Structure 1
Amino acid sequence: MPSWEGKSKGSKFGYSCFVFLLKHGGVLPAYLLLRFVACYYFIFSWSSSKPIYHYFRTKVGYSRWRALWALYRNYYVFGQTLIDKVVVMADIPNSFTFEFEGEHYLREMIAGSKGGILLSAHLGNWEVAGHLFKRLQTRVNIVMFDGEHQRIKTYLSGVTGDRNMNIIVIKDDLSHIYAINEALSNQELVCMHADRFLPGNKTETLSFLGKDARFPMGPFLLAATFRVPVSVVFAFKESSRHYHFYATAPRLYHGRRNEGVTAALQDFTREVAEKVRRYPVQWFNYYNFWE
């Protein structure tokens, strides 16, 4: 069973240091500080380094030294994506550029007056596509585990503001299901990651990058149950100031529910595997995903 515990690393002090640099010096000073932070995690955070190093060696096929260099780059790029997300959502002046591949698919989903589900993974930085969500001029609901410390979430929400986004927290009482149903009934978009699960969640096992891995059934059950258009979305950092956004053609998953779940899961993992091969350094699951 994967050892992810639904919690994010980091402290309020760490976030505040980067936000201070962003507001008073821009992105470059924050990136400079990030080099030292990435080096710290590279040297001292063996619990997260070990699975990523193993991923580069066995799933990507890198040599030992290339895998070590990729591990450091992985930490550095991950830090950049966190910084970039704050910059974009807080409207801090920046020179980022964006390429939107498949934006018309999302506009078709909105125009269809059915709402829709957007699935993604902890790969790249699709949250930075909030820049695109403002262009779509529709309400976006983000479904997530309540894994970050409340004081950090409160601090960041004060920095980034609302931006017409609504957070739906996954809870044991299943109240998030009703919130998702309400959002889709209002023809809104519902976004969620579909690659992680907590102990006790229902999962489905299938081959992913050459070895069996478990995926949560919840997102795919929702896709088959509500029968609204589903698109798989990603955003990848292609240079220090450029992002490439991808959205797949929307698909409806009809038929019996189990058949719909299987089809949705297979489509999702196929898209994720293709993007992992293209952007291997931007895989951000810091635990043994294939355990």
Structure 2
Amino acid sequence: MYAMRAQGTEEALPLHAVVYTKHAARINAVLEEIDPEGHAKLLQMGQGVDFMLRIKELVEDGGIVAILADRVGSDDRAVTVEFFGAPARFPTGPFILASTLKCPVYLTYGLYRDPDLYELHCEPFADVIELPRKRRQEALQEHVQRYASRLEAIARSAPDNWFNFYDFWRHD
């Protein structure tokens, strides 16, 4: 996020990272001290219309909204897809949100290459996430599987960069 924030500062693009923590306000206060121009903000993951309208407003104003799509949050909306050869749960919220907003979706990640050298990537994932009413669940499953497959390929290409503290394969 900090590398994206630095790029956003150079390009004057506001960055808003959606997080699953109740501490977003406290972290935002620290970010305000580091970056008084306010190019990076954390937004507490929310539910309902107010949250959706806030995200819509940020996107329409030209902002970048970053959402982790690799772990299921507290709302537990998820689908099961194949990940490293086993069934794993991934959230549906980021894909539903992108579909509702009809905005482009990019995958962004950084790979550590040498001491003090990070390789930053931003690649197109979809011009628009389409979830047709008649096959919504099937289309959602396809988008999430495509994301999980891409995440797996990235992790396989640089396994020393992937520190997994999240149990993708937990079956509650």
Question: TM-score range with shorter-chain normalisation?
Answer: 0.7 to 0.9
Instruction: Look up the match of 1:282.
Output: 161
Checking the alignment, whether the CA contact within 8 Å between 1:223 and 1:261 is kept in structure 2 is no
For 1:231 and 1:127, the matched residues in 2 are separated by 17
Instruction: Look up the match of 1:218.
Output: 93
SS in structure 2 of the partner of residue 190 of structure 1: strand
Instruction: Look up the match of 1:118.
Output: none
User: How far does residue 150 in structure 1 lie from its aligned partner after superposition?
Assistant: 6.3
Deviation per residue, 1:217-267 (Å, 9 max, x gap): 100101222111111110112122101011112522235152553343133
Unpaired runs of at least 5, structure 1? 1-125
Compare CA radii of gyration and give the structure with the larger one: 1
Q: Residue 174 and residue 240 in structure 1: after superposition, are their counterparts in 2 closer, same or farther (change >3 A)?
A: farther
The within-5 A match list for 1:71-150 is 126-148=1-23
For 1:263 and 1:270, the matched residues in 2 are separated by 10
Return the structure number with greater helix share.
1
Instruction: Look up the match of 2:72.
Output: 197
User: How far does residue 171 in structure 1 lie from its aligned partner after superposition?
Assistant: 2.7
SS in structure 1 of the partner of residue 124 of structure 2: coil
Q: Which amino acid aligns with 1:157?
A: L
RMSD: 2.5
Does 2:145 correspond to 1:269?
no
Return the structure number with greater strand share.
2
Q: Which amino acid aligns with 2:110?
A: A
SS in structure 1 of the partner of residue 168 of structure 2: coil
Instruction: Look up the match of 1:176.
Output: 51
SS in structure 1 of the partner of residue 121 of structure 2: strand
Q: Residue 189 and residue 155 in structure 1: after superposition, are their counterparts in 2 closer, same or farther (change >3 A)?
A: closer
Instruction: Look up the match of 1:234.
Output: 109
Instruction: Look up the match of 1:186.
Output: 61
Larger deviation, residues 246-255 vs 212-221: 246-255
For 1:255 and 1:199, the matched residues in 2 are separated by 23
Q: Residue 190 and residue 199 in structure 1: after superposition, are their counterparts in 2 closer, same or farther (change >3 A)?
A: closer
Q: Which amino acid aligns with 2:165?
A: Y
SS in structure 1 of the partner of residue 154 of structure 2: helix
Does 2:122 correspond to 1:243?
no
SS in structure 1 of the partner of residue 43 of structure 2: strand
SS in structure 1 of the partner of residue 70 of structure 2: coil
Unpaired runs of at least 5, structure 2? none
Q: Residue 201 and residue 277 in structure 1: after superposition, are their counterparts in 2 closer, same or farther (change >3 A)?
A: same
Checking the alignment, whether the CA contact within 8 Å between 2:24 and 2:42 is kept in structure 1 is no
Does 2:31 correspond to 1:157?
yes
TM-score (norm 1): 0.50
For 1:164 and 1:149, the matched residues in 2 are separated by 15
Q: Residue 184 and residue 155 in structure 1: after superposition, are their counterparts in 2 closer, same or farther (change >3 A)?
A: closer
Q: Residue 184 and residue 211 in structure 1: after superposition, are their counterparts in 2 closer, same or farther (change >3 A)?
A: same
